[in-house]
A and B are shown apart, each in its own frame.
Chain A
Amino acid sequence: MTAEELRELINREIDGDLSPSEQRRLTQALRRNPPARRLRTELKETASALASVRAAEPPVHMASRIRAEVRARAASFAPAGTPARAAAPGRGSWWASISAAVLGTSTVRYGAVFAGGLVAGALIFMLAVHPEPAPSVAGSAATGTLLAQSQSFPVNVPGTQGTVSAVTTETGKELTLRLNCSSATTTRLIYDPSRVKLENLSELQSAGGPVAVNNGVVEITGTGTQKCTLLFSGVKDSRLSVQIASSAGGSFQAEVQVH
């Protein structure tokens, strides 16, 4: 038996994976191999140290928080194919579709909602081809460019109004969101994490809900006035494309150019 085979048998023994004949072979091999016996003892001690760690109790309110969050999501969009909730077109289902379209590979994340049917598909197509569905971006152009060192855009989508502004700092490009979010609305700022890196996020003011960051999506679930600053690095050609979308429908696309 080679040393490699012996090592494998020892490990599989620890995992309870040996057949009786393999166990016999191992026992025989160990008899004439003190270093292998030592290795076996040490690995068994290691496994026992790992097994000694007790499972921790989750925070008391964790489950209720999860349930509340799931209900909030269910109210705005349902898992695809859920008959009862699929009857809420034009709300979260297409907002999630926008996220998926913008994020590309992140269809895994929000993709389930993507299957809202052909109607939603057609809507996505229309959004991709004509990114200015006028009703959803009231009061501002769908795409804008911030040319000055510090300038702000109005954001006006159903359920979310405010501004997004950008400045150049020593460490990168800084976006500040000042948003007033209505209840039961989730607002998401979407960026492309393969192009830029979110270095920092500061919640300057948050009423009622957390700001969460997850792989290209900054999610604001609170209601009332929300203010946060996001510091991005890796912005090429001074251009930073972001999208702000609301679960109540509508999106605001901004290509921010900061000098």
Chain B
Amino acid sequence: MAETSDEDLVRQCRAGELKAFDALVERHQKTVFNLALRMVRSGDDAADIAQTVFVKAYENLERFDPQYKFFSWLYRIAVNESLNALEQKKRFEGLDGLDVAAEIAEEKDDEALRQERKVQVGLMMLSVDQRAVIILKHMQGLSYREIGQVLDLPEKTVKSRLFSARQAFKEILKRKGRGRNDRRRAS
């Protein structure tokens, strides 16, 4: 039996069917959580963001334009909420020390974890605009057009931002790779 589409579930929600919204939560919670996680890096914050995203989506369901995909709209809320959370966090604690903490952790774990940490730290070193396009493209697998819908940008801008972001990320990974090799030689 075919799975009920997001659009049908949204229609049911609008008719007052809460269980339809549960199904949307079930279907999208992991991607929303991961999007937030890659944006803000903290699992606790990402879970809070995901909760806010779904609550806001529910409260604003009437504003959702069915000509777009539901997940694009959801991701848009998720990106905005992540940016809000980062803004709050920056005010309270700043992001200094992030790199060092991850580098210390790197020495202890296996190669896959090390690589993931390297990528995550690298992401946090990008600007939030660059980070968002990279995550949406490489971790969420969205097309240029879908990214444009999420970030409210023309496709052309999405491409140029993505290309610069990838270039910047490449340089960060290169620098981090060099840094680690230098430390290994020194020890």
Q: B91 and A43: CB pair below 8 A?
A: no
Q: Is B13 an interface residue (CB 8 A)?
A: yes
Q: A79 and B50: CB pair below 8 A?
A: no
- CB of B162 to closest CB in A, whole Å: 7
Q: Is A11 an interface residue (CB 8 A)?
A: yes
Given known pairs A49-B115, A52-B112, the reply for A58 and B33 (CB within 8 Å) is: yes
Q: B116 and A214: CB pair below 8 A?
A: no
Residues of A near B34 (CB, < 8 A) are 55-56, 58
Contacting residues of chain B (157-187) with chain A, CB-CB under 8 angstroms: 159, 162-163, 166-167, 169-170, 173-174
Q: Is A111 an interface residue (CB 8 A)?
A: yes
Given known pairs A54-B116, A58-B29, the reply for A46 and B166 (CB within 8 Å) is: yes
Give the number of A-B contacts (CB < 8 Å): 146
Q: B52 and A214: CB pair below 8 A?
A: yes
Q: B55 and A69: CB pair below 8 A?
A: yes
Q: A59 and B43: CB pair below 8 A?
A: yes
Residues of A near B108 (CB, < 8 A) are none
Residues of A near B37 (CB, < 8 A) are 56
Q: Is A129 an interface residue (CB 8 A)?
A: no
Q: A74 and B18: CB pair below 8 A?
A: yes
| Minimum CB distance partner of A199 in chain B | B91
Q: Is B56 an interface residue (CB 8 A)?
A: yes
- CB of B126 to closest CB in A, whole Å: 11
Residues of B near A69 (CB, < 8 A) are 51, 54-55
Q: Is A239 an interface residue (CB 8 A)?
A: no
Q: Count B interface residues, CB 8 Å.
A: 57
Q: Is B152 an interface residue (CB 8 A)?
A: no
- Alpha-carbon distance between A157 and B161 when the two chains are bound, in angstroms: 49
Give which listed residue, A11, A83, A200, A215, contacts B84 with CB less than 8 A.
A215
| Minimum CB distance partner of B58 in chain A | A70
Segment of B1-9, B96-104, B134-142 engaged in the interface with chain A: B134-142
Segment of A19-27, A60-68, A139-147, A248-256 engaged in the interface with chain B: A60-68
Q: B58 and A200: CB pair below 8 A?
A: no
Q: A112 and B61: CB pair below 8 A?
A: yes
Q: Is B109 an interface residue (CB 8 A)?
A: no
New A-B pairs, 9, CB < 8 Å, besides A50-B139, A58-B47? A11-B159, A52-B115, A58-B29, A58-B34, A66-B29, A70-B25, A74-B58, A96-B59, A112-B63
> What is the interface of chain A, defined by CB distance below 8 A to chain B?
7-8, 11-12, 14-15, 17, 42-43, 45-47, 49-59, 62-63, 65-67, 69-71, 73-74, 77-85, 96, 108-113, 115, 197-200, 212-215
9 A-B residue pairs with CB within 8 Å:
A8-B159, A45-B173, A49-B115, A67-B25, A69-B54, A70-B18, A82-B16, A83-B16, A199-B92
> What is the interface of chain B, defined by CB distance below 8 A to chain A?
13-16, 18, 21-22, 25-26, 29-31, 33-34, 37-38, 43, 46-48, 50-52, 54-56, 58-63, 81, 84, 88, 91-92, 112, 115-116, 118-120, 134, 137-139, 144, 159, 162-163, 166-167, 169-170, 173-174
